[in-house]
Amino acid sequence: MTGLPNAAIVILALPAATAAMLAMLPSYRLSAALNVASAFVTFLASVSLLAAPPPPGAYILVDDLNVVFIVLNTFVGFTASVFSATYIAHEIETGRLTPTHLRFYHAMYQFLLFSMNLALVANNIGLMWVAIELATLTTVLMVGIYRTPESIEAAWKYFILGSVGVALALFGTILVYMAARPVVGEGVQGMLWTTLIDHAPAFEPQLLNLAFVLLLLGYGTKVGLAPLHAWLPDAHAEGPTPISAVLSGLLLNVALYAVLRFKLLLDANARAIAPGPLMVTLGLVSVVFAAFMLYGRRDVKRMFAYSSIEHMGVIVFAFGVGGPLANFAALLHMAMHSLTKSAIFYTVGQIAQVKGTQQMADIRGLTVTHPLLGWSLVFGVFAIVGLPPMGVFMSEFLIVSSTFERAPWLALPLAFGLLIALGALILRLQGMAFGAPTGSTEPAKASAAPIIAHFALVLMAGVYLPSPLVTWFQHVAGMLR
Amino acid sequence: MKGLAFDVAHLLAGGLVLISFLLLYQTRLYALLNVFAAQAVVLSMSVAWQAYVQDANHLYVTALIAFAFKALIIPVALHRIIAELGIHRDVENVVGVGLTMLAGLALVALSEVVMLRVASEADALAREDLAFALSVVLLGMLMMVVRRNAVSMVVGFMSLENGLILAATGAKGMPLVVEISVAFSVLVALVVIGVFLFRITERFETVDAHALDRFRGDQR
């Protein structure tokens, strides 16, 4: 390489180095600023990957598929760090967290970004597994940071279920290696993506089938697919809100990316089972199940966590249906969901801070007491349920219509699930946004800029998608078949 | 030599499955830990044998980690935790022992059927190792399901992990095995620390619906 450092190295080394620095910095104001600055530079480095992707190496691979995930990951990582900086100052004032906790929190935040980026750029399936395991551990520690019985229970549940998921995924990874070994030989070649995908047609199909089932269940636990989702609502509701945003907006995507990679292997092998129907089934079950679960929720963060299960279900379903249009729509939906859901969590986090509660029954009349937050919530809910003209509408419309084209009978339960979810969220929104105002009218302290930036992007994507972006997504969708 | 290598590997892997069954019906926590330590010893012997047979020196490191960490440090630490938390009573099983054993048998049969059919083209040693490994993994999961006590859930998870290490070392020439076993040890260490620090003694399940509401944050 020339004078410039490799951008793929930067997005790994920078968060790792920052994490080490933050672990030693005592001042939380300085830490928060450093956290934001580092996340921003990481984002810039990831954008430069678009222009000049590095050549695939033994450990690092940047191709057209994962670069979409990387840019999205670093962008939301950056805006969440901006939100977190103001959010966390309030937690110090109310005494929910101490400065020592915060030091730990900031270091863990950067370490989480590091492990997610590592999972995305890893060219080695073993390395990817280690990275996803590290990301799981980091989030477990952050979910339990408030040390209340509820948060410790949430962390414990997440830990146990996440560990079993990760263990199944490792077994699947070993089986992929076993399938590859007779073809590509012993050693590191049997774990490199670039080698695996080239030789996949010659792998023994039955081993590959079993491996994919284990990987889908294992990483599917991390995606939050029903019936493996039990950890997800607790982890979202009990952790700090910036972490809820990162979990929903990013970590679920990282696990999804792992599933997609292995799906590519099966697609390449003509004698293996088609992975589509498995993904379609899990996706549909998640959508319909989560849609009904939305009705009984009383905790606002928990409700949006179920909404994340629903949307991950939609995305997995669309990738399962396959075909250029559905894949395009699934990628678009993934991006839109990440942006919208993390912005909703930024909003909800501020609401919970000003009102001092996460119970929806105690949050009333926000549009009167806090117009900006109230209308942001209205906009966010309208966007996430898929009302036009927002981006989620477009991607959901494409998913439903492409399903009608390829498998019409599958589109009905999907549309049914989406409508049920729409009803639930609008029902809850009414009271929160327009009911008789209750509680504190103290103005919100956290910054609204990340919320507005995300919503602007979501709105723009719904109204007008720039054509280079469309070509890009179409190209990636073509790769996925 | 080929025959001996196969037989010893087979014996040790079969020993792991047998010990998994022993774990299933232990009713006292201390006995459970002792049996788990025995499983870790057999695992480290199995890994060391693979290292010798495959002439893969890095696997000796994995064997050493398995022995030091899982046969010595973790059982001793858990012994002390049990004494400290005062939970050295009988383990409560959610399901009866007889039923658990039957379920365990079914799981082993399932994994043998699945793996022997699936891996018919792989060489015999790797295939049978994988079948045993899957049995150990499934039995570990079964144990996590039928036990209420947090310590025995942790033991179930660790025996599940023993199955994974068996599979990884049986896959000849697999890279990153040492790294993966280290990563797993970190995971296990954190679980144990978590149990100790937060005094988690039971799975958070209760018949008291009010408590459930509180845990779900959905209380009116």
Give the separation between CA A425 and CA A351, rounded to whole angstroms.
17
Q: How far is CA A94 from CA A88, A97, A156, A354, in A?
A: 10, 8, 25, 11
pLDDT tens digit string along A238-247?
Answer: 989 999 999 9
**Beta-carbon neighbour count of residue A183 at 10 Å?**
17
Cross-chain residue pair A150–B215, CB shorter than 8 Å = yes
Mean pLDDT, chain B, rounded, equals 81
For residue A245, being part of any structural domain is answered with no
For residue A244, being part of any structural domain is answered with no
The residue that leads in pLDDT, A473 or A343, is: A343
Residues of A with Cβ-Cβ distance to B164 under 8 angstroms: 167, 170-171, 174
Identify the H or E element spanning A19.
helix A7-24
Q: How confident is the model at residue A4 (pLDDT cuts 50, 70, 90)?
A: low
DSSP calls for A426-480: HHHHHHHHHS---S--PPP-S-SHHHHHHHHHHHHHHH---HHHHHHHHHHHHHH
Please indicate if any CB of chain A lies within 8 Å of the CB of B137. Answer: yes
In the prediction, which pLDDT does A79 show? 95
Cross-chain residue pair A302–B176, CB shorter than 8 Å = no
Please indicate if any CB of chain A lies within 8 Å of the CB of B215. Answer: yes
Q: 């005494």: which residue's tokens? A: A95
Cross-chain residue pair B200–A156, CB shorter than 8 Å = yes
Identify the H or E element spanning A22.
helix A7-24
φ, ψ for residue A5, nearest 5 deg: -70, 150
Please indicate if any CB of chain B lies within 8 Å of the CB of A372. Answer: no
Q: Within 13 Å and on the Cβ side, how many CA atoms surround B90?
A: 5
| Residue B158 scores a pLDDT above 50 | yes
Please indicate if any CB of chain A lies within 8 Å of the CB of B206. Answer: no
Q: Per mean pLDDT, which range of A3-17, A266-280, A294-308, A366-380 is the poorest?
A: A3-17
Cross-chain residue pair A186–B117, CB shorter than 8 Å = no
Which residues have C-beta within 8 Å of that of residue A451, sequence separation ≥ 6? A83, A343, A346, A347, A376, A380
Query: Which alpha helices (H) appear in A52-186, and where do they start and end?
Result: 64-93, 99-121, 125-143, 149-184
Which residues have C-beta within 8 Å of that of residue A275, sequence separation ≥ 6? A212, A216, A262, A263, A266, A267, A320
Please indicate if any CB of chain B lies within 8 Å of the CB of A210. Answer: yes
CB contact burial A433-469 (16+ within 10 A = b; e otherwise): bebeeebeeeebebbbebbebbbebbeebbeeeeeee
Cβ atoms of A241 and A373 within 8 Å: the answer is: no
Please indicate if any CB of chain A lies within 8 Å of the CB of B133. Answer: yes
Per-residue pLDDT averaged across B190-217, rounded? 56
Per-residue pLDDT averaged across A5-11, rounded? 83
In the prediction, which pLDDT does A385 show? 93
Cross-chain residue pair B180–A204, CB shorter than 8 Å = no
Cross-chain residue pair B133–A296, CB shorter than 8 Å = no
Please indicate if any CB of chain A lies within 8 Å of the CB of B134. Answer: yes
Per-residue pLDDT averaged across A52-77, rounded? 88
Among A306-315, B4-13, B26-35, B189-198, top mean pLDDT goes to: A306-315
In the prediction, which pLDDT does B213 show? 45
For residue A116, being part of any structural domain is answered with no
Residues of A with Cβ-Cβ distance to B215 under 8 angstroms: 149-150, 153, 234
> Which tokens hold the place of A278?
């498995």
Give the separation between CA A179 and CA B122, rounded to whole angstroms.
8
The residue that leads in pLDDT, A4 or B194, is: B194
Cross-chain residue pair A159–B191, CB shorter than 8 Å = yes
Task: With both helix axes pointing from N to C terminus, report the angle between A324-355 and A391-406 in degrees, rounded to the nearest 10.
Answer: 140
CB contact burial A93-112 (16+ within 10 A = b; e otherwise): eeebbeeebbbbbbbbbbbb
Total beta-carbon pairs less than 8 A apart between chain A and chain B: 129
Q: How far is CA B85 from CA A239, B72, B194, B197, in A?
A: 27, 20, 13, 11
| Residue A275 scores a pLDDT above 60 | yes
Cross-chain residue pair B179–A190, CB shorter than 8 Å = no
Q: Compute the CA torsion angle A162, A165, A166, A167 (nearest 10 deg).
A: 120
Please indicate if any CB of chain B lies within 8 Å of the CB of A358. Answer: yes
| Residue A412 scores a pLDDT above 70 | yes
| Residue A479 scores a pLDDT above 70 | yes
Mean pLDDT, chain A, rounded, equals 90
Residues 399-438 of A with CB under 8 A from B: none
Per-residue pLDDT averaged across A119-137, rounded? 92
Residues of B with Cβ-Cβ distance to A206 under 8 angstroms: 117-120
Angstroms from A138 CA to nearest CA on chain B: 11
Give the separation between CA A184 and CA A197, rounded to whole angstroms.
11
Residue (of A377, A343, A380, A379) closest to A360 by Cα position: A377
Query: Which one of B180, B195, B220 makes the best mutation probe of the A interface by having the most chain A beta carbons within 10 Å?
Result: B180
Per-residue pLDDT averaged across A196-225, rounded? 92
Q: Which domain holds residue A392?
A: 274-481
Query: Which one of A139, A161, A170, A231 makes the best mutation probe of the B interface by having the most chain B beta carbons within 10 Å?
Result: A170
Residues of A with Cβ-Cβ distance to B163 under 8 angstroms: 171
Kindly report whether the peptide bond that precedes residue B75 is cis, defined as omega within 30 degrees of 0: no
Q: How confident is the model at residue A36 (pLDDT cuts 50, 70, 90)?
A: very high
Give the separation between CA A75 and CA B137, rounded to whole angstroms.
38
Q: Per mean pLDDT, which range of A98-112, A116-130, B141-155 is the poorest?
A: B141-155
Angstroms from A130 CA to nearest CA on chain B: 7
Angstroms from B128 CA to nearest CA on chain A: 13
The residue that leads in pLDDT, A226 or A34, is: A34
Residues 152-191 of A with CB under 8 A from B: 152-153, 155-157, 159-160, 163-164, 166-168, 170-171, 174-175, 177-178, 181-182, 186-188, 190-191
Please indicate if any CB of chain B lies within 8 Å of the CB of A148. Answer: no
Residue (of B81, B88, B96, B188) closest to B147 by Cα position: B96
Residues linked to residue B28 through DSSP beta bridges, in sequence order: B90
The residue that leads in pLDDT, A421 or A94, is: A421
Which residue of chain A is at minimal alpha-carbon distance from B219?
A: A298
Using DSSP's 3-state secondary structure scheme, residue B220 falls into coil
Please indicate if any CB of chain A lies within 8 Å of the CB of B142. Answer: no
- At B11, the amino acid letter reads L
Cross-chain residue pair A175–B130, CB shorter than 8 Å = yes
pLDDT tens digit string along A170-184?
Answer: 999 999 998 888 888
Which residue of chain A is at minimal alpha-carbon distance from B114?
A: A210
Q: 């942006």: which residue's tokens? A: A339
Residues linked to residue A60 through DSSP beta bridges, in sequence order: A122
Please indicate if any CB of chain A lies within 8 Å of the CB of B164. Answer: yes
Q: Which domain holds residue B141?
A: 2-216
Residues of B with Cβ-Cβ distance to A134 under 8 angstroms: 183
For residue A151, being part of any structural domain is answered with no
Q: Which of B150, B175, B191 sits opposite A126 (nearest CB)?
A: B175
Per-residue pLDDT averaged across B20-45, rounded? 91
Q: Per mean pLDDT, which range of A64-73, A141-150, A197-206, A310-319 is the poorest?
A: A141-150
In the prediction, which pLDDT does B198 show? 67
| Residue B109 scores a pLDDT above 50 | yes
| Residue A5 scores a pLDDT above 90 | no
Q: Within 13 Å and on the Cβ side, how many CA atoms surround A314?
A: 36
Residues of B with Cβ-Cβ distance to A130 under 8 angstroms: 176, 179-180, 183
> Which tokens hold the place of A74?
């670093």
Give how many domains chain B has, as a whole number: 1
Which residue of chain B is at minimal alpha-carbon distance from A296?
A: B218
Count how many residues are written for chain A.
Answer: 481
The residue that leads in pLDDT, A427 or B206, is: A427
Give the separation between CA B102 and CA B106, rounded to whole angstroms.
6
| Residue A367 scores a pLDDT above 50 | yes
In the prediction, which pLDDT does B14 show? 93
Give how many domains chain A has, as a whole number: 1
For residue A75, being part of any structural domain is answered with no
In the prediction, which pLDDT does A421 show? 95
Give the separation between CA B86 and CA B103, rounded to whole angstroms.
31
Predicted TM-score (pTM) of the model is 0.92
Per-residue pLDDT averaged across B45-67, rounded? 89
Angstroms from A243 CA to nearest CA on chain B: 18
Q: 């490199």: which residue's tokens? A: A192
Q: How far is CA A109 from CA A34, A235, B77, in A?
A: 12, 16, 30
Q: Per mean pLDDT, which range of A72-81, A401-410, B159-168, B208-217 is the poorest?
A: B208-217
Q: What number is the ipTM of this complex? A: 0.87
Q: Compute the CA torsion angle B111, B113, B119, B123 (nearest 10 deg).
A: 90
Residue (of A13, A14, A200, A206) closest to A125 by Cα position: A200
In the prediction, which pLDDT does B175 show? 81
Query: Which one of B128, B174, B185, B220 makes the best mutation probe of the A interface by having the most chain A beta carbons within 10 Å?
Result: B174
| Residue A3 scores a pLDDT above 60 | no
